[in-house]
Structure 1
Amino acid sequence: MFKQALIGLTLAVSLQALAAPVQMADTPEGAILTNDVGMSLYVFDKDQAGMSNCNDSCADNWPPLAATADDQADGDYGIVTRADGSLQWSYKGQPLYLWKQDMQAGDMSGDGKFGVWHLARP
Protein backbone atom coordinates (compact mmCIF):
# COMPACT_ATOMS: atom_id res chain seq x y z
CA MET A 1 0.00 0.00 0.00
CA PHE A 2 2.77 2.45 0.96
CA LYS A 3 4.75 1.59 -2.18
CA GLN A 4 1.68 2.19 -4.37
CA ALA A 5 1.05 5.58 -2.71
CA LEU A 6 4.72 6.52 -3.18
CA ILE A 7 4.57 5.62 -6.88
CA GLY A 8 1.42 7.75 -7.28
CA LEU A 9 3.07 10.69 -5.50
CA THR A 10 6.20 10.36 -7.64
CA LEU A 11 4.10 10.28 -10.80
CA ALA A 12 2.15 13.37 -9.71
CA VAL A 13 5.35 15.27 -8.95
CA SER A 14 6.88 14.17 -12.28
CA LEU A 15 3.82 15.27 -14.26
CA GLN A 16 3.76 18.60 -12.46
CA ALA A 17 7.39 19.24 -13.45
CA LEU A 18 6.49 18.68 -17.11
CA ALA A 19 3.74 21.31 -17.27
CA ALA A 20 4.44 24.82 -18.55
CA PRO A 21 5.17 27.06 -15.54
CA VAL A 22 2.66 29.64 -16.76
CA GLN A 23 -0.48 31.06 -15.21
CA MET A 24 -3.05 33.63 -16.26
CA ALA A 25 -3.60 36.74 -14.16
CA ASP A 26 -6.27 39.43 -14.30
CA THR A 27 -4.69 42.89 -14.06
CA PRO A 28 -5.83 46.48 -14.61
CA GLU A 29 -4.27 46.04 -18.08
CA GLY A 30 -6.40 42.95 -18.78
CA ALA A 31 -5.52 39.25 -18.72
CA ILE A 32 -1.79 38.47 -18.97
CA LEU A 33 0.48 35.46 -18.66
CA THR A 34 2.77 35.13 -15.65
CA ASN A 35 5.29 32.58 -14.49
CA ASP A 36 4.45 30.21 -11.65
CA VAL A 37 5.23 32.85 -8.99
CA GLY A 38 3.23 35.65 -10.62
CA MET A 39 5.97 37.55 -12.48
CA SER A 40 4.76 39.08 -15.75
CA LEU A 41 5.78 37.42 -18.99
CA TYR A 42 6.61 39.27 -22.19
CA VAL A 43 6.95 38.68 -25.93
CA PHE A 44 9.45 40.34 -28.26
CA ASP A 45 8.36 41.74 -31.67
CA LYS A 46 11.72 40.80 -33.23
CA ASP A 47 11.24 37.08 -32.51
CA GLN A 48 9.98 34.75 -35.19
CA ALA A 49 7.51 31.98 -34.48
CA GLY A 50 9.43 29.24 -32.68
CA MET A 51 12.70 31.21 -32.62
CA SER A 52 14.15 33.66 -30.12
CA ASN A 53 16.14 36.63 -31.38
CA CYS A 54 16.96 37.86 -27.87
CA ASN A 55 20.44 36.60 -27.00
CA ASP A 56 23.55 37.69 -25.09
CA SER A 57 22.99 41.07 -23.35
CA CYS A 58 19.36 41.09 -24.49
CA ALA A 59 18.78 37.83 -22.60
CA ASP A 60 20.54 39.30 -19.55
CA ASN A 61 17.90 42.04 -19.48
CA TRP A 62 15.02 39.85 -20.64
CA PRO A 63 15.64 36.40 -19.12
CA PRO A 64 14.01 33.62 -21.14
CA LEU A 65 11.37 31.53 -19.36
CA ALA A 66 13.58 28.46 -19.10
CA ALA A 67 12.41 24.96 -19.93
CA THR A 68 14.23 21.71 -19.25
CA ALA A 69 14.79 18.61 -21.36
CA ASP A 70 12.14 16.85 -19.21
CA ASP A 71 9.47 19.44 -20.01
CA GLN A 72 6.97 18.73 -22.76
CA ALA A 73 4.94 21.01 -24.99
CA ASP A 74 1.23 21.06 -24.18
CA GLY A 75 -1.48 22.77 -26.22
CA ASP A 76 -0.55 26.41 -26.82
CA TYR A 77 2.63 26.03 -24.75
CA GLY A 78 5.68 24.91 -26.67
CA ILE A 79 9.43 24.75 -26.20
CA VAL A 80 11.96 26.42 -28.47
CA THR A 81 15.68 25.81 -28.66
CA ARG A 82 17.69 28.99 -28.24
CA ALA A 83 20.88 29.90 -30.15
CA ASP A 84 22.98 28.75 -27.18
CA GLY A 85 21.19 25.38 -27.07
CA SER A 86 19.15 26.12 -23.95
CA LEU A 87 15.39 25.62 -23.95
CA GLN A 88 12.69 28.25 -23.54
CA TRP A 89 8.93 28.12 -23.12
CA SER A 90 6.74 29.70 -25.78
CA TYR A 91 3.06 30.55 -26.10
CA LYS A 92 1.51 30.02 -29.53
CA GLY A 93 5.02 29.98 -30.97
CA GLN A 94 6.15 33.23 -29.29
CA PRO A 95 9.07 32.77 -26.89
CA LEU A 96 8.32 34.01 -23.35
CA TYR A 97 10.55 36.28 -21.26
CA LEU A 98 10.76 37.98 -17.90
CA TRP A 99 11.99 41.59 -17.46
CA LYS A 100 14.86 42.08 -15.04
CA GLN A 101 13.42 45.34 -13.69
CA ASP A 102 10.17 43.73 -12.56
CA MET A 103 10.90 43.15 -8.88
CA GLN A 104 7.73 41.53 -7.54
CA ALA A 105 4.66 39.68 -8.71
CA GLY A 106 2.30 42.06 -10.47
CA ASP A 107 5.01 44.41 -11.82
CA MET A 108 4.54 45.11 -15.54
CA SER A 109 7.25 47.71 -16.17
CA GLY A 110 8.49 46.02 -19.36
CA ASP A 111 5.26 46.53 -21.30
CA GLY A 112 5.93 48.74 -24.32
CA LYS A 113 9.71 48.97 -23.66
CA PHE A 114 11.58 50.19 -26.71
CA GLY A 115 8.38 49.72 -28.70
CA VAL A 116 9.09 46.00 -29.16
CA TRP A 117 8.34 44.35 -25.79
CA HIS A 118 4.77 43.57 -24.78
CA LEU A 119 2.94 41.72 -22.05
CA ALA A 120 2.17 38.14 -23.08
CA ARG A 121 -1.60 37.78 -23.34
CA PRO A 122 -3.76 34.69 -23.50
Structure 2
Amino acid sequence: MTQMTVSLKALLLAAAVALPGMAFAAEPAMMKDGMMVDHKGMTVYTFDKDAGGKSMCNGDCAKNWPPMMAPAGAKAEGKWTVIKRDDGMMQYAYDGKPLYTFVKDEKPGEMKGDGMKDVWHVVHEHK
Protein backbone atom coordinates (compact mmCIF):
# COMPACT_ATOMS: atom_id res chain seq x y z
CA MET A 1 0.00 0.00 0.00
CA THR A 2 2.87 2.39 0.79
CA GLN A 3 4.39 1.77 -2.66
CA MET A 4 1.06 2.58 -4.28
CA THR A 5 0.63 5.75 -2.22
CA VAL A 6 4.12 6.94 -3.16
CA SER A 7 3.47 6.15 -6.83
CA LEU A 8 0.15 7.98 -6.76
CA LYS A 9 1.77 11.02 -5.13
CA ALA A 10 4.54 10.98 -7.72
CA LEU A 11 1.97 10.72 -10.52
CA LEU A 12 -0.08 13.60 -9.13
CA LEU A 13 3.02 15.75 -8.72
CA ALA A 14 4.12 15.00 -12.29
CA ALA A 15 0.65 15.89 -13.59
CA ALA A 16 0.59 19.14 -11.61
CA VAL A 17 3.93 20.14 -13.11
CA ALA A 18 3.13 19.04 -16.69
CA LEU A 19 -0.48 20.15 -17.10
CA PRO A 20 0.02 23.92 -16.98
CA GLY A 21 2.57 23.63 -19.78
CA MET A 22 0.22 21.46 -21.81
CA ALA A 23 -2.81 23.67 -21.35
CA PHE A 24 -3.63 25.77 -24.39
CA ALA A 25 -3.60 29.50 -23.94
CA ALA A 26 -6.89 31.32 -24.41
CA GLU A 27 -6.10 31.63 -28.12
CA PRO A 28 -4.36 28.98 -30.24
CA ALA A 29 -2.11 31.58 -31.92
CA MET A 30 -0.97 35.16 -31.34
CA MET A 31 0.28 38.17 -33.22
CA LYS A 32 4.01 38.77 -33.20
CA ASP A 33 5.70 41.48 -35.23
CA GLY A 34 2.46 42.04 -37.15
CA MET A 35 1.91 38.42 -38.19
CA MET A 36 0.15 35.47 -36.59
CA VAL A 37 2.26 32.69 -35.12
CA ASP A 38 1.38 29.54 -33.22
CA HIS A 39 2.63 28.93 -29.69
CA LYS A 40 5.90 27.55 -31.09
CA GLY A 41 6.46 30.80 -33.00
CA MET A 42 5.72 29.21 -36.38
CA THR A 43 4.01 31.38 -39.01
CA VAL A 44 0.28 30.82 -39.56
CA TYR A 45 -1.30 30.85 -43.03
CA THR A 46 -4.68 30.93 -44.74
CA PHE A 47 -5.67 29.23 -48.02
CA ASP A 48 -7.69 31.19 -50.60
CA LYS A 49 -9.56 28.06 -51.75
CA ASP A 50 -11.15 27.64 -48.29
CA ALA A 51 -14.69 29.00 -48.29
CA GLY A 52 -17.59 29.18 -45.90
CA GLY A 53 -15.48 28.14 -42.92
CA LYS A 54 -14.60 24.82 -44.60
CA SER A 55 -11.07 23.56 -45.21
CA MET A 56 -10.33 22.54 -48.79
CA CYS A 57 -6.80 21.41 -47.86
CA ASN A 58 -6.88 17.65 -47.30
CA GLY A 59 -4.68 14.65 -48.12
CA ASP A 60 -1.30 15.65 -49.61
CA CYS A 61 -2.18 19.32 -49.19
CA ALA A 62 -2.56 18.85 -45.43
CA LYS A 63 0.82 17.07 -45.29
CA ASN A 64 2.52 20.17 -46.72
CA TRP A 65 0.23 22.63 -44.93
CA PRO A 66 -0.52 21.07 -41.55
CA PRO A 67 -3.85 22.33 -40.21
CA MET A 68 -3.84 23.98 -36.80
CA MET A 69 -5.68 21.18 -35.08
CA ALA A 70 -7.98 21.87 -32.16
CA PRO A 71 -8.08 19.38 -29.29
CA ALA A 72 -11.36 17.56 -28.60
CA GLY A 73 -13.79 19.81 -26.80
CA ALA A 74 -11.83 22.97 -27.65
CA LYS A 75 -13.76 26.17 -27.09
CA ALA A 76 -13.34 29.25 -29.22
CA GLU A 77 -14.59 32.79 -28.79
CA GLY A 78 -14.51 36.14 -30.53
CA LYS A 79 -13.01 35.79 -34.01
CA TRP A 80 -11.81 32.26 -33.18
CA THR A 81 -13.89 29.25 -34.25
CA VAL A 82 -13.41 25.50 -34.45
CA ILE A 83 -14.40 23.79 -37.71
CA LYS A 84 -14.81 20.12 -38.60
CA ARG A 85 -12.49 18.82 -41.32
CA ASP A 86 -13.42 16.19 -43.92
CA ASP A 87 -11.61 13.57 -41.81
CA GLY A 88 -13.75 14.47 -38.78
CA MET A 89 -10.90 16.16 -36.90
CA MET A 90 -11.31 19.68 -35.56
CA GLN A 91 -9.29 22.67 -36.82
CA TYR A 92 -8.96 26.24 -35.61
CA ALA A 93 -10.18 29.08 -37.81
CA TYR A 94 -9.77 32.83 -37.36
CA ASP A 95 -12.27 35.29 -38.75
CA GLY A 96 -13.89 32.40 -40.65
CA LYS A 97 -10.65 31.21 -42.28
CA PRO A 98 -9.11 27.82 -41.38
CA LEU A 99 -5.47 28.11 -40.23
CA TYR A 100 -2.34 26.20 -41.25
CA THR A 101 1.43 26.11 -40.84
CA PHE A 102 3.90 25.21 -43.63
CA VAL A 103 6.29 22.25 -43.53
CA LYS A 104 9.13 24.19 -45.19
CA ASP A 105 9.14 26.79 -42.42
CA GLU A 106 11.86 25.24 -40.29
CA LYS A 107 12.40 27.98 -37.71
CA PRO A 108 10.08 30.39 -35.91
CA GLY A 109 9.40 33.50 -37.97
CA GLU A 110 10.13 31.94 -41.37
CA MET A 111 7.49 32.74 -44.03
CA LYS A 112 8.53 30.51 -46.93
CA GLY A 113 4.89 29.80 -47.78
CA ASP A 114 3.71 33.40 -48.09
CA GLY A 115 2.29 33.94 -51.57
CA MET A 116 2.86 30.31 -52.56
CA LYS A 117 0.92 29.63 -55.80
CA ASP A 118 -0.84 32.95 -55.10
CA VAL A 119 -3.25 31.15 -52.73
CA TRP A 120 -1.35 30.85 -49.41
CA HIS A 121 -0.96 33.94 -47.22
CA VAL A 122 0.50 34.82 -43.85
CA VAL A 123 -2.17 36.02 -41.43
CA HIS A 124 -1.33 39.66 -40.75
CA GLU A 125 -2.60 41.94 -38.05
CA HIS A 126 -5.42 44.18 -39.25
CA LYS A 127 -5.05 47.75 -38.10
TM-score of the aligned structures, taking structure 1 as reference length: 0.81
**Superimposed CA distance per residue, residues 12-50 of structure 1 (whole angstroms, 9 cap, x where no aligned partner):** 94xx43733201110xxxx11110111000000000131
Name the one with the larger strand percent: 1
**Unpaired runs of at least 5, structure 1:** 1-8
Structure showing greater Rg: 2
- Paired position in structure 1 for 2:31: 24
What are the within-5 Å matches in structure 2 for residues 43-122 of structure 1? 43-122=46-125
- In the alignment, the residues of structure 1 paired with residue 73 and residue 26 of structure 2 have an alpha-carbon distance, to the nearest angstrom, of 10
3-state SS of paired residue (1:43) = strand
3-state SS of paired residue (1:67) = coil
- In the alignment, the residues of structure 1 paired with residue 87 and residue 64 of structure 2 have an alpha-carbon distance, to the nearest angstrom, of 16
- In the alignment, the residues of structure 1 paired with residue 26 and residue 72 of structure 2 have an alpha-carbon distance, to the nearest angstrom, of 12
- Paired amino acid for 1:104: K
- Paired amino acid for 1:61: N
Number of residue pairs aligned between Structure 1 and Structure 2: 109
- Paired amino acid for 1:22: A
For the 8 Å contact 1:37–1:105, the answer to whether it is kept is yes
Identity %: 41
For the 8 Å contact 1:22–1:36, the answer to whether it is kept is yes
**Superimposed CA distance per residue, residues 52-76 of structure 1 (whole angstroms, 9 cap, x where no aligned partner):** 0000000000000010122101111
- Paired amino acid for 1:113: M
- Paired position in structure 2 for 1:4: none
- Runs of 4+ in structure 1 deviating by more than 2 angstroms, as ranges, are 16-20
- In the alignment, the residues of structure 2 paired with residue 17 and residue 70 of structure 1 have an alpha-carbon distance, to the nearest angstrom, of 12
- In the alignment, the residues of structure 2 paired with residue 114 and residue 34 of structure 1 have an alpha-carbon distance, to the nearest angstrom, of 21
**Unpaired runs of at least 5, structure 2:** 1-15
